[in-house]
A and B are shown apart, each in its own frame.
Chain A
Amino acid sequence: MALLSEVPSVVMVHRKRRNVELVMILFAQAVGLGAYALIHLNQSARLPDELPVVAGLWFGLGLVAHLVVRLRLPYADPLLLPCVLLLNGLGLAMIHRIDLINEPPTSGATQQLMWTALGVALLVLTALVLRDHRPLIRFTYTLGLAGIALLLLPLLPVIGTSQFGARIWITVAGFSFQPAEVAKVVLAIAFSSYLVEKRDVLALAGWRVLGLDLPRARDLGPILLVWLASLLVLVYQRDLGTSLLFFGLFVMMLYVSTERPGWAVLGTAMFALGAGAAVLLADRVGQLAHVSVRIDSWLHPFDDIDQNGQIIAAQFGLAWGGLLGTGLGLGRPGLTPLARSDFIAAAVGEELGMAGLMAVITVYGIVVARGLRTALAAKDQFGTLLATGLSFVLALQVFIIIGGVTRLLPLTGLTTPFMSQGGSSMIANWVIVALLLVISHQTRKPAATRLEPSPDAEETQVIGRDRAGAGGRR
């Protein structure tokens, strides 16, 4: 194999760019650590005593991630890891900053750092054990059922718990967990493998109505299942964001795999119909009251200042931060409830300014762009579809939550990937990155395995090497 890779002009060899990645990782991590130090400097004019420990742990994590990628996934996309570490670092700093508001300071950032470490550990595990995403295709139905089950788990009695009006948590042995975050990854894998398998059937069989190719009725089964699950989430878990996220993901993947816009139109129409009915019925059905409340507080938050205190506080925070922000540690993010989780974007906007928040949004944009690029380049359909799905779900989630916080959309409770406090979100998003790294490694590594070793490979090699010095080639 080692010799084959030196066969000239047969395969395109991507540059590994691991050193570039290392420099960028160091830079990204320095930003996070700098933010941490600045918070303390701005608040108490002295560096924290724990700085060396925190710096050691933090850079250690980055180094581990880098080393494992360098050794096991050497051809992986070099931009993903630095971007994610930048976001993760800023999130940690912001959570720590909000910890400091409390007297005595809480330890949210320490927990979050542990979750980050777990996320990196999962990356390491994925790189060591999986290394190639293709085996995942075998678990289509297992993963699909597991995903739907995870999604609906909070509806179970005893373990399912309700917080802030949404029933999206489960509590086991004192730990609360948001299974939807994990379901996101599991279902993306399941959808990809299912659709790769069925894409021809879905795409080719069916009727043509009004210029749209519609699927056969019996192929609609899984789609109806997902639709139903989404609506269940919407109505019974009172979680518009998760519902939108899953259905959006599924419809998009259907469209990409079949290349039939009909699916996208049909799916969107179905969701719009379901959501529209929810809005219309909202006033009459108590189970749906949250939908109309959310929409009211989006359009006219100041009509009911007590009820919409949170979104209003976030707006005040963003306005107070203005374009350039108050400076880290100098704003008042504590005035916004849940500033460390759902509303972390408002805290970033307040202290780093709209400019800072836009920079963060742009970094998310880069991650998504790299993911989609991986999808375009992937050599297998499963990889393509999975990379597209994972990137899209990330983009959609960032759009829904940051859009909600900045009053572009009705607010729905989703986490801000890599930044919001919360373990389930953190590890799920690290797994997404791990999968994207794996797919991009498989995509970019020289496709030598596809070449039939030629009988005279060895000879060719030897002669080539000999003649190289003379400047001639056979």
Chain B
Amino acid sequence: MNRPIRRVAVVCMLLFALLLGNGTYLIVVRQDALNAHPNNRRVRDAEFAQDRGGILVANTLIAETVESDGDFRYQRVYPDPEAYAHVTGWYSYDRARSGLEETYNTELAGTDDSLFVRRLVDLVTGRTPQGASITTTINPEAQRAAAEALGDRKGAVVALDPRTGAVLALVSHPSYDPNAIASHDIGEADQAYTQLAEDEDRPLANRAAREIYPPGSTFKLVTAAAALEAGWEPDTETDSPDRLQLPGTETYLPNQTDCGGDEVTLDQALQVSCNTAFANLGVELGADALREQAEAFGFETRHLADLNGVASRFPENPDDAQTALSAIGQFEVAASPLQMAMVAAGIANDGVVMEPYLVDQVRAPNLSVLRQTRPQELGRAMSAENAAKLQQMMVDVVEEGTGANARLDGVEVGGKTGTAQTDLERNPYAWFVSAAPMDDPQVAVAVFIEDADIARNDIAGGRLAAPIARAVTQAVVE
């Protein structure tokens, strides 16, 4: 019976080898994913018991950790919750994380690989490990100005530094209090979260970077850029009838404003936001040219990974009628306020679009810089010459056209208004995008108001949104 026993022994050896091999596999391959799983209570509890790093705006903490006598040793605190909720996100026990708390979780918790040596030292010296802190690019004055100017209206404001892509302000209203979700009283935190999640006004939604809306006439900047790149000049004329029969349909597209004649220049069309002129222009340029131009400004790509931003959209294969509507930012064109700020910033930065970013530095607890964000070019959206022409056209919009409310004494502001209506039952969206000063751009702003309680016309953007852009511009420039 010895031969079969030897074989049985081999089988037994195989069984044990499989167990050992699987154990190795679990540690080498599966471990990281298991530890990163949001349902992993062990990791969560350990993180909650840890001195988590702070999030800073300029030199002020907008998220910090204080010692607590409760169930866990440390409590996350947001000193200015409503103003920065959409930047910091929340850090909760049962409801995971969002915003920077989520994207920089390993750094804040101190479990990131860049903090490995430090962790070893802490382990040996018995010191409580600390997380890294994060410095954002937010300009506190701009953020405050944006929030104050937006007031109680639902909407969002994004301000970028056109030269670097740094986010100077990021406001989404309504906001919420992340302290409530971070509470150690799990029931209380759950209730706060549920209440916020079910709120009709959707306070948890980050309207600045994670929601997309029809950009309306602000998209005419993209159409104008495509036209200039196709060889048009600001004084090239195009048809601008009072109403335009959309190609291949019985539908007529009316003008919201007086375009100033049956044929207007590109410059004039942008100034008064002439729908029929841009619709014609769009059909003439073609959907591909529009799409290419939109993508060059960053459409169809996700931006601001720091906040898990979403991609803006340009419709696929629209017919001529749809192209005409797309050219004026209707139909299925949809953009985030962040994306529209990128368009203004790209034009102001002589055609070069910078990748937006929100985190400037990650610092170890001893303040040594672990990571410094370097501005990155997304690409060139248009030539410097054409960008200069479009800059002048935007200045004209503010100086002589629909954007008068964005004027700022002593600063050359360029902008574009927009109004978009998706259905007639509700109030239209009001937009305004701007950049200033045009000769040496310091700030590009996109203002979006979700609920412009004003009659449907292109003045909505100018009347409601432009003053907000002015306030933010003023805060940055001065």
Contacts and interface: CB of A to CB of B under 8 A. Distances in A.
Contacts of B43: 316, 320
B12 A385 contact: no
Contacts of A305: 39
A375 B1 CA distance: 9
A318 B26 contact: yes
Interface in A376-413: 376, 381, 384-385, 388, 391-392, 395-396, 398-399, 402-403, 406-408
A384 B9 CA distance: 13
Contact of A361 (B4, B5, B19, B40): B19
Given A332-B42, A354-B23, A361 B16 contact: yes
Contacts of B19: 361, 398-399, 402-403, 406, 408
B42 A408 contact: no
B16 A316 contact: no
A210 to B, nearest CB: 20
Contact of A316 (B20, B32, B34): B34
Given A392-B12, A406-B19, A408-B19, A375 B39 contact: no
A357 interface: yes
Contact of B42 (A320, A323, A385): A320
A223 interface: no
B3 A259 contact: yes
A272 to B, nearest CB: 16
Contacts of B1: 256-257, 259, 381, 384-385, 388
A369 B9 contact: yes
Contacts of A407: 22, 26
A436 to B, nearest CB: 14
Contacts of A31: none
Given A323-B27, A403-B19, A256 B8 contact: yes
A349 B19 CA distance: 13
B302 interface: no
Given A322-B31, A395-B15, A384 B22 contact: no
A320 B40 contact: yes
A58 B306 CA distance: 57
Nearest to A313: B41
A22 interface: no
A396 to B, nearest CB: 7
A320 B4 CA distance: 41
B385 interface: no
Interface string A288-321: 0000000000000010010000001001111110
A59 interface: no
Given A318-B26, A354-B27, A403-B22, A372 B40 contact: no
B24 interface: yes
Interface string B32-49: 101101011111010000
Given A257-B1, A332-B45, A395 B20 contact: no
A368 interface: yes
B368 interface: no
Contacts, number: 116
A428 to B, nearest CB: 19
B243 interface: no
Interface string A238-264: 000000000000001001110100000
Contacts of A364: 16
B2 interface: yes
Given A364-B16, A406-B19, A319 B31 contact: yes
The majority secondary structure among interface residues of chain A is helix
Interface in B38-62: 39-43, 45
Contacts of B23: 349, 354, 357-358, 361, 406
A319 B26 contact: yes
Contacts of B371: none
A338 B250 CA distance: 71
Contacts of B37: 302, 316
B477 interface: no
A335 interface: yes
A335 B41 contact: yes
A368 B8 CA distance: 11
A316 B40 contact: yes
A274 interface: no
Nearest to B33: A319
B5 A376 contact: yes
A91 B158 CA distance: 60
A358 B5 contact: no
A381 B2 CA distance: 10
Contacts of B34: 315-316, 318-319
Contacts of A34: none
Contacts of A396: 15
A206 interface: no
Contacts of B18: 399, 403, 408
A365 interface: yes
Interface in A328-367: 331-332, 335, 349, 354, 357-358, 361-362, 364-365
Interface of B: 1-6, 8-9, 11-13, 15-16, 18-20, 22-24, 26-27, 30-32, 34-35, 37, 39-43, 45
28 contacts: A302-B37, A312-B39, A316-B39, A318-B31, A318-B34, A319-B31, A320-B35, A335-B41, A349-B23, A358-B20, A361-B16, A364-B16, A365-B12, A365-B16, A372-B12, A376-B6, A384-B1, A384-B5, A391-B12, A392-B8, A395-B12, A398-B15, A399-B15, A402-B19, A403-B18, A403-B22, A407-B26, A408-B19
Task: Please name the 8 residue pairs, one residue from A and one from B, whose CB atoms are nearest each other, closest first.
Answer: A319-B34, A408-B22, A399-B15, A256-B4, A395-B12, A320-B42, A319-B31, A365-B16
Given A319-B34, A406-B26, 19 more contacts: A255-B8, A305-B39, A316-B43, A319-B30, A319-B40, A320-B42, A322-B31, A361-B23, A362-B20, A368-B12, A368-B16, A372-B9, A376-B2, A376-B5, A388-B5, A392-B12, A398-B16, A403-B19, A408-B19
Interface of A: 252, 255-257, 259, 302, 305, 312, 315-320, 322-323, 331-332, 335, 349, 354, 357-358, 361-362, 364-365, 368-369, 372, 375-376, 381, 384-385, 388, 391-392, 395-396, 398-399, 402-403, 406-408
